[in-house]
Amino acid sequence: MNPARIAVLISGRGSNMQAIHQACVNGDLDAEVISVISSHAKAGGLDYARQQGLSHHVASDETSLEQLLQSLSPDWIALAGYMRILSATLVNPWLGRMINIHPSLLPKYPGLNTHARALSDGASEHGATVHFVTEELDAGPIIQQARVPVLPDDTADTLAARVLGIEHALYVDALRLCVNGVARFQQPA
């Protein structure tokens, strides 16, 4: 079978996108990054895309994103630090083929500021989740999660760094389950 064609959507630094691309290059993932699409022209991740000679685009509104995705026709869309909320109109045609990484153990802490919220709750563990994207924010079926301990001296920044440390392998593992057909989208009951 041909390698799965993945479009990666970013808004910032793009370290998850880089991990996905490296896994494709190394043969850890039977896939290729066909395009990096950023919501912001100044996203740091675009520098990496340029350096690597990856196809890259800026789509700053949903209409241009929709057109771009239609024309690229990827097998998978991986949201990796993508900070826009997508409408049902955009999401629904890609149901089961669009996935996201979120820095919490969903269903805990959907939305923003997950690390600070885990700390203020006195959580003893925290982590990250890769899930299928549905129209409801951070609520689609979970593909895989990874956990880290919360340590007594943690700040939101130290906890965020520990979580990011497990995100990259988690995202690659979850994408492997997707491209191999092991993880399949099912409508929640």
Only one residue has tokens 């880089």, namely: 18
* Least Cβ distance, residue 18 to ligand GRF (angstroms): 8
Catalytic residue list contains 102: yes
- Judged by CB, which is closer to ligand GRF: 31, or 128? 128
d(CA 171, CA 78): 9
Q: Which of 6, 101, 133, 143 binds ligand GRF (CB under 6 A)?
A: 101
Among 16, 38, 134, 144, binds ligand GRF (CB under 6 A): 16
Q: Could you tell me the two tokens for 76? A: 């998978």
Which tokens sit at 141? 């079926």
Based on the shown chain and the rule CB under 6 A, indicate whether residue 13 belongs to the binding site for ligand GRF. Answer: yes
| Amino acid at the residue 140 | G
DSSP-assigned letter for residue 97: T
In 3D space, the residue among 8, 11, 124 whose CA is nearest the CA of residue 75 turns out to be 8
* 54 is a site residue for ligand GRF (CB under 6 A): no
Q: Which residues are catalytic?
A: 102
What residue ranges bind ligand GRF (CB under 6 A)? 10, 12-16, 80-81, 101-103, 128, 164, 167
